[in-house]
Chains A and B, each alone.
Chain A
């Protein structure tokens, strides 16, 4: 056990040293942030700051927080807060998970363009995603077996949606798990009976439309005011106060220039 701890610390130290030495910034985590926003921020940052290289892996918030705990990334992207188990695991390794809000987002419920419905109630969303309701006719739509698309379990959006929209109930057994927002949007766009959810930056894809929730559409105003019930902050997680390249990149993200990119990509700027 002790040897394991020493080895982990040594590996983490070696990796941190290599980050610093090469001017390389390793960012892992949320697909919501990592598929579009962070790469664009990185491109702009690189153009202004010589010598920094990026390694970005967007495989879900869980992987981002785990990477901070393991010391394999300097920034962990997350579309959800760290769970108590993750905070506890981090504390056991002497890691202090520090969240920084970098953007606001709304989880948009999307359906195929051909769907006659314009909106759903929160209760109907819960019923559809848990499998209580399996046909569109039960919620006022044209008859057809509902195809539910969700993110995979390492996704922060997966767990946030479960908590915010489904009263923490389990997803329907028939739901299909997708690797990212773009895959969900693509599948729903192809399937006239499809329904799924994506971050605001992904709700303009072809073939889909966004449902209002209890009559409220997700947009910058309703997300910032939190009148849209599926509004959430998104984070960069660091081990304590960020330093070096990580601090520079975080500062850039929070700067007016960075926040302009945030808004341009489709997220809601924090100010």
Chain B
């Protein structure tokens, strides 16, 4: 038999895996060597002790993780951005506002910014999972922190904290603050927004048609692994019950200007059916959804174009009852992944949203006729749509992609607290385009340029919450240029 030192060297060579992994994984191999009589039990213990000792002096060996963890993934990204914005304010028509409001004006901003996100995603036993993300910027729709105020330090916020359970292939339940679970575009949901609440998804194609039947060998005795037959279609139901704002139930009423919205919590509900079908090299996806809110006061929403209750506006979540129909057709153009995509939003209660919440209906002369309202609603206000194309993808070194889309957003069509903060600074009553290109310098380092150009959709919208108050549509034109360098880790 070999002497103990030689044995240890031999076993260490046999266990020629990275040191950090050795102490975790060597138990079975050492046991096998004992069983084969290559090591005695005592020699095995000494080898085990040596490897553990070596392991504990590595960096990994000094990290202790909870026993309940089965998997932990740490990741993150840093993005450096140069951003230039130009904004030309809406010019009020004659008869609205004061003369000074009809003076063209504009604002330019040039900023150097960064975004940091730190993620910890974990899996636990019994099919439970969870995650935490820390990120820069308090605003719900942006992670960008502008370099400013000398060399001040910057705060970091909790942008995700969730737990979930997926007891089987087809059911998934998540609660907390998590990534947006819906198939969507930035026409309706800014990709930086992580909603709070509960979400469930049911994958019907895995539930009933996942091909999970057990098959048997030819002699009929041995069960083999389930055959997963690839099916051309997928059908998934996603639902979300989100907590949008919390109000004091005993907060009282101010009947002069408000109703009981000030005492009601605001919830957002969305339900979506995501259907896709693959035929040859073409995959089509259609994801109709319904999104609605309970009526309540919204205050303290921090985003690029926030819409909160004010002394003049009550129930900022009122009259939003949206039908959404996003989708895409994906195929290969030569060797390049290509996607034609779209989104469509229609607010069933668009007129009420425009006239009552954005106060774009004014009283003519109630002394003569109480119903004499000057209504300022157009059917265009209730719709939003986007259509675009993306060529290429960014996964590894040398990859590139380009995108172009056109969109139009009526003032009553979507929630200004949710839509993309980059396009027209999140404003409503806009139309315009977005162009972008990105290139992978390495697998983990991507450079990109994006240009967004927006005009107002209706030039006659003024007053109310359009150009006064919350000012959800107070620009004549907005141009944004973003130059990015990001690194994932």
Contacts and interface: CB of A to CB of B under 8 A. Distances in A.
B271 to A, nearest CB: 34
A88 interface: yes
B52 A85 contact: no
Interface string B177-188: 000000000000
A88 B45 CA distance: 17
Given A101-B41, A168-B67, A270-B41, A84 B46 contact: no
B105 to A, nearest CB: 64
A101 B44 CA distance: 10
Interface stretch (A47-55, A67-75, A91-99, A212-220): A91-99
A264 B41 CA distance: 21
A169 B48 contact: no
B49 A88 contact: no
Contact of B53 (A91, A167, A235): A91
Contact of A91 (B46, B56, B64): B56
A97 B49 contact: yes
A39 interface: no
Interface size class of A (residues with CB under 8 A): 20 to 34
Nearest to A85: B64
B42 A100 contact: yes
Given A167-B125, A168-B67, A169-B125, A87 B56 contact: yes
A64 to B, nearest CB: 15
Contacts, number: 50
Contacts of B68: 168-170
Interface string B59-73: 001101001100000
Given A167-B125, A169-B125, A87 B42 contact: no
B49 A87 contact: yes
Contact of A101 (B23, B45, B67): B45
Nearest to A98: B49
B248 interface: no
Nearest to B45: A99
Interface in B18-76: 23, 41-42, 45-46, 48-49, 52-53, 55-57, 61-62, 64, 67-68
Contacts of A169: 68, 125
Contacts of A84: 23, 52, 55-56, 61, 64
Contacts of A96: 53
B21 to A, nearest CB: 13
Contacts of B42: 100-101, 270
Interface in A140-182: 167-170
Interface string A94-112: 0011111100000000000
A233 interface: yes
A81 interface: yes
Interface in A95-132: 96-101
Contacts of A99: 45-46, 48-49
A82 interface: yes
Contacts of B64: 84-85
A170 B41 CA distance: 30
B412 to A, nearest CB: 53
A97 B53 CA distance: 9
A81 B48 contact: yes
Nearest to B34: A226
Given A98-B46, A169-B125, A88 B41 contact: no
A87 B52 contact: yes
Given A88-B62, A169-B125, A235 B52 contact: no
Contact of A82 (B52, B55, B61, B125): B52
Contacts of A87: 49, 52-53, 56
Contacts of B46: 98-99
A85 B55 CA distance: 11
Given A82-B52, A99-B49, A88 B67 contact: no
A85 B62 CA distance: 7
A98 B67 CA distance: 25
A246 B306 CA distance: 75
Contact of A88 (B48, B61, B125): B61
A248 B125 CA distance: 46
A168 B61 CA distance: 19
A68 to B, nearest CB: 12
Nearest to A168: B67
Task: State the 4 A-B residue pairs at the shortest beta-carbon distance, nearest first.
Answer: A88-B56, A168-B67, A87-B56, A99-B45
29 contacts: A81-B45, A82-B49, A84-B23, A84-B52, A84-B61, A84-B64, A85-B56, A85-B64, A87-B53, A88-B56, A88-B61, A88-B62, A91-B57, A96-B53, A97-B49, A97-B53, A98-B46, A98-B49, A99-B48, A99-B49, A100-B42, A101-B41, A101-B42, A167-B125, A168-B68, A233-B41, A235-B45, A270-B41, A270-B42
Interface of B: 23, 41-42, 45-46, 48-49, 52-53, 55-57, 61-62, 64, 67-68, 125
Interface of A: 81-82, 84-85, 87-88, 91, 96-101, 167-170, 233, 235, 270
